[in-house]
């Protein structure tokens, strides 16, 4: 997918083109982020909430129609998928369940929040830490590959009786969360090193939605008998979106870049190119007979001029809309 860019939010000039192409080889086209529909991949900085990032993008784009998928904690950095205008409705249809993270775990101490933002509760003795070898870490990590049952961190955003778990914890309440089934398809140990007060373990993880990396840090420390918590977390991929298409807020301020909704739809779903009569029906969300769409998935429907119109899926002898993006 090729990002559409604009040197300034309200500037009319843009230069879409393949990565690495020179400005001279691109044809400038009008671009106004306030009315354009697309996906912005933000490289979220540490210290900001996902809500704050959305607010920043809203100001840069000059539109209030901005939303995001897959919240990141303030401490975390990396890929945050943001939808602009009509693409906010596309977010719920994208396959964003699989995610990748790079992280650092500090073995040797537990934290009230399972990460570096909490208070240290219990520190391991030097003797206990000395017994933690790289081979012992590898063996403990191996037990978490594949389908597992995981108890989320107490300071997660999961609701307990209508109130966020982290709100209850901050109010001094005891919170007991139920275990959830998640899948860790890759859990690699990249580096192990001794530091003051503990052992740092760099990891890289591919996992299903709902996996808490803070909980992985907590559980690894518990299994090794020395406690552990997360000190760094960077999300490197959400579904098909990775760091290769991500931009910092500073970069977006200098040259606003997004993936047009048509490109995202074409790259994500099977494509159907409608004729003029079919396109007119799709624009109003009418069911269509006689279309051979891929069973079990949504299909992106395009007009003859390349405009992305809607998502349809087969329903008996008809193809019916799941979402229409034009009128």
Which pLDDT score, from 0 to 100, does residue 226 have? 98
Can you give the pLDDT at residue 19? 31
**Chain centroid offset of residue 228 CA:** 25
- Residue 191 among the catalytic residues: no
Give the Cα separation of 222 and 105 in Å (integer).
12
What pLDDT score does 176 carry?
79
| pLDDT value, residue 198 | 96
The catalytic position among 32, 37, 43, 73 is 73
Per-residue pLDDT of the chain (327 residues; tens, 9 = 90+): 666 654 333 222 222 233 333 223 333 345 677 779 999 999 999 999 999 999 999 999 999 999 999 889 889 999 999 999 999 999 999 989 899 999 999 999 999 889 998 899 999 999 999 999 999 999 999 999 999 999 988 777 677 777 777 777 677 777 778 899 999 999 999 999 999 989 999 999 999 999 999 999 999 999 999 999 999 999 999 999 999 999 999 999 999 999 999 999 999 999 999 999 999 999 999 999 999 999 999 999 999 999 999 999 999 999 999 999 997
Structure tokens at 251: 């970069």
202, 190 contact by CB (below 8 A): yes
* Model pTM score: 0.86
User: 9-33 as b/e, with b when 16 or more CB fall inside 10 Å?
Assistant: beeeebbbbeeeeeeeeeeeeebeb
pLDDT value of residue 1: 67
Whole-number Cα distances in Å, 3 to 22, 36, 246, 249: 14, 12, 10, 15
User: What is the reported pLDDT for 14?
Assistant: 28
The residues pairing with 67 across neighbouring beta strands, listed in sequence order, are: 83
Bridge-partner residues for 192, per DSSP? 201
């Amino acid at each position: 997918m090729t990002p559409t860019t604009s040197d300034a939010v309200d500037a009319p000039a843009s230069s879409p083109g393949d990565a690495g192409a020179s400005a001279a080889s691109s044809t400038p086209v009008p671009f106004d982020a306030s009315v354009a529909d697309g996906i912005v991949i933000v490289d979220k900085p540490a210290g900001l909430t996902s809500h704050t990032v959305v607010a920043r993008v809203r100001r840069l784009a000059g539109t209030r129609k901005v939303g995001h998928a897959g919240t990141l904690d303030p401490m975390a950095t990396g890929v945050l998928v943001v939808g602009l205008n009509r693409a906010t409705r596309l977010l719920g249809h994208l396959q964003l369940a699989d995610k990748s993270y790079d992280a650092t775990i500090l073995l040797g101490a537990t934290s009230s929040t399972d990460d570096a933002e909490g208070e240290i509760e219990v520190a391991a003795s030097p003797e206990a830490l000395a017994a933690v070898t790289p081979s012992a870490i590898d063996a403990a990590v191996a037990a978490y590959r594949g389908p597992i049952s995981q108890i989320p961190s107490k300071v997660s955003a999961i609701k307990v009786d209508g109130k966020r778990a982290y709100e209850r914890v901050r109010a001094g309440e005891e919170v007991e969360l139920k275990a959830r089934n998640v899948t860790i398809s890759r859990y690699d140990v990249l580096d192990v090193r001794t530091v003051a007060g503990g052992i740092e373990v760099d990891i890289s993880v591919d996992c299903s939605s709902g996996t808490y990396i803070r909980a992985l840090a907590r559980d690894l420390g518990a299994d090794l008998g020395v406690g552990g918590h997360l000190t760094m977390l960077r999300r490197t991929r959400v579904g098909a979106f990775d760091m290769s298409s991500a931009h910092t807020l500073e970069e977006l301020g200098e040259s606003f870049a997004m993936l047009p909704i048509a490109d995202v739809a074409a790259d994500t779903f099977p494509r159907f190119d409608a004729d003029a009569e079919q396109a007119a029906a799709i624009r109003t969300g009418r069911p269509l007979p006689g279309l051979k769409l891929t069973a079990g998935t949504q299909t992106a429907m395009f007009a003859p001029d390349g405009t992305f119109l809607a998502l349809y899926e087969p329903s008996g002898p008809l193809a019916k809309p799941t979402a229409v993006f034009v009128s």
